[in-house]
Each structure stands twice: as structure tokens, then as C-alpha cells.
Amino acid sequence: MADEPLVLGIETSCDETGVGIVRGHTLLADALASSVAEHARFGGVVPEVASRAHLEAIVPTMRRALDTAGVTLADIDAIAVTAGPGLAGALLVGVAAAKGYAIATDKPVYGVNHLAAHVAVDTLEHGPLPEPAIALLVSGGHSSLLLVDDLTAGVTPLGATIDDAAGEAFDKVARLLGLPFPGGPPIDRSARDGDPTGIAFPRGLTAPKDLAAHRFDFSFSGLKTAVARWVEARQRAGEPVPVADVAASFQEAVCDVLTAKAIDACRTRGVQTLVIGGGVAANSRLRAMAEQRCARYGIQVRVPRPKLCTDNGAMVAALGSHLVAAGVPASRLDLPADSALPLTTVSV
């Protein structure tokens, strides 16, 4: 609807420079520039390289988003920007840009939480999020289960990884298997030709003794080590490593734990909606398994299309639009970039 606010979102927390534009829940533009190719040979994101790339990409990406949406900066009602968590130098580029545009156009600026934005983006595809909902947030830096009562006010953390994030496990296992960075997409592809039941990899924090203290927490470092040991044993024996089977069995172990704990959280809290967000939510097996298992319990699963799961500007605009609609006050113009912004702070 034309009377809904036009909100622009800027994302620069990691290696993607994103500018998204939404009107209400309608996505008008989602421009992206990635520095991922520059990090690939290091096997992980190099913060200084990411910051420099954001600096070079921010203005062209902004122009592309405005052109695609067919609007000008003067038409924008509010600017949202990822204030954290993320890489400090990378966040600073987006926050400084948002402040500059806000001052130049005399528009309000909202500094928002990157993780809450991964939840909010689903509204662009499936409309308003029924609350309460359980959110499973799985990215390169985070793996959390959250209770979402009111996304504009905050979220309640139920559990999180105690070591590696799910995406980090995909990236590390891919490296072990000689697959490129980031590891999620190549493992997802390779696993399609493999046997998910071929190798019995461990399911972290699912034994009864662990569940008492860590019912909704995750652990993926034991799984990563188990994969490394298995691969090393094959190599020592001079046997070829069946990459597709390892990928499929590893992926199965991750998805099994993520979906089992998410469903347990829904059932324990009497919640009927599960929303999955973050880069790992793009995983085809996770999406299929969540659908299948949730159907058994009458839980509705909401997962945005893969392009909206990985980092982008549209997710920031979606959360900004939600905050504007709820009448949440804008941030101060001296809002900080906070690399360790807690999950419980949705806007600063």
C-alpha cells in the first residue's frame, strides 16, 4: 500500500554489502555486493579486507537499490542499519553511511540487531510473523534458539551453541574435504549424491546427561572433530575419501540436532510457529527435514527463500519497517556500531 512507510536497510556486518528497500512487507529492491571471493583463499573472512570492500561498494550498491526500486533518497521515510553484532570495522562503514544519508535527507535512522533482522526478513515472503514464535537462527557466527514474543521489543534466548556455530562447522568440514569457502553451499550440493546414513557421526548435546543442562544448546565442535578423525583414518589407510557420503552424513547430523531441538522448544513452550533464519537456513536438507518433522506436530515452518537467508540489506529494511510500524522511537544520531550487540537488544 502506498501509505505504508518506505524503509531503506543497510547491511555491512560481515562480507556482504547489502542495501534493501521495502514498503511495509513488500520488497522493492535487494542490492548486494559480496567480497566473498577475496576471502576464499584465506578460508575465512578477513576483517580488514571486508571493511575496505564495504567502503568501495556502499555507494554503488545504494544507487543500484534506489534505481531498482524506482525511488530517490528523498522518498525514503526511514533508514535502518545493522548496528551489530558483526565485525567492528565492517559495521562502522554501514553505520557511518546510514548516519550520513540520514543527516543529508533529514530522515530518522534505526540501528538494528543483525540477528533479529534474520528473523524479520521472513515477513517479506510470508507476511506478519505470528507471535509467539520460536526462531532457529543459524549463521556463520551464531546458532541460537529464541522465543519471539514481540520482535520489536526483544527476544528471549532459550539456548545457543557452546562452541562452533552451525555455519562455522559447515565451513570447517568443507575445508577438510577440500571444498571451497564458504562451505555450506558446496556441502549441500555434494550431499545430494551421498548417503546420509552411511557414517554415524555424533549428535552433540543430545544424550540424556547433556540434555539436563543443555536442552536447547548446541555443540558442533565434537562433530567437526569426528569428521576430521574419520577422514584422517581413511587417508592413513590409503583409501579414497567418499566426499559425498561424508558431506551427507555430516549434514544429516547437523540438521537432525537443529530440527529436534527446535521442535522440542516449540512443544515445550506450546508454540505453533517455527521460523528459521541465517545462512544455514538456505540448506536444502534442513528445510526439507524441518518441514517433514514439524508437520508431525502441527508446527508451521517458515523459512524465507535461500537468497533472503544469507546476509542482505532487505532483512535490515524488513526489521526497520517493523519498528517504524510499531512506533518504536528512532536511534540517536550518535548510535554506536557494537560488534558484540546482545541478542536481547533489537534496536539501539
- In angstroms, rounded to a whole number, what is the distance separating the alpha carbons of residues 175 and 58? 30
Cα R_g (the chain), whole angstroms: 20
Comparing CB distances to ligand KG4, the nearer of 143 and 273 is 143
Residue 54 vs 214, nearer CB to Zn ion: 54
Give the number of residues in contact with Zn ion, rule: CB under 5 A: 2
Shortest distance, position 266 Cβ to ligand KG4, whole Å: 22
First to last CA, the chain: 28
The smaller minimum CB distance to ligand KG4, of residues 101 and 201, is found at 201
> Minimum distance between the CB of residue 272 and ligand KG4, rounded to whole angstroms?
25
In angstroms, give the least distance from the CB of 18 to ligand KG4: 10
Of residues 309 through 348, those in contact with ligand KG4 by CB under 6 A are 310-311
Is 30 a binder of Zn ion (CB under 5 A)? no
Residue 139 in the binding site for Zn ion (CB under 5 A): yes
Burial class (CB in 10 A: 0-12, 13-18, 19+), 335: buried
User: Least distance in Å: CB of 148 to ligand KG4?
Assistant: 17
Q: Tell me the C-alpha distance between 338 and 92, whole Å.
A: 9
Q: Which single residue is written with the C-alpha cell 555430516? A: 250
What residues have CB less than 8 Å from 168, skipping those under 6 apart? 140, 141, 220
Label residues 287-300 b or e (16+ Cβ within 10 Å = b). Answer: bebbeebbeeeebb
Helix (H) or strand (E) holding 234, with range, is helix 221-236
The count of residues interacting with ligand KG4 (CB under 6 A) is: 19
Shortest spacing between CB 276 and Zn ion, in angstroms = 13
> Binding string, 122-161, against ligand KG4, x = CB under 6 A?
-----------------xxx--------------------
The one among 50, 57, 116, 170 contacting ligand KG4 by CB under 6 A: 170
Counted residue by residue, the chain has a size of: 348
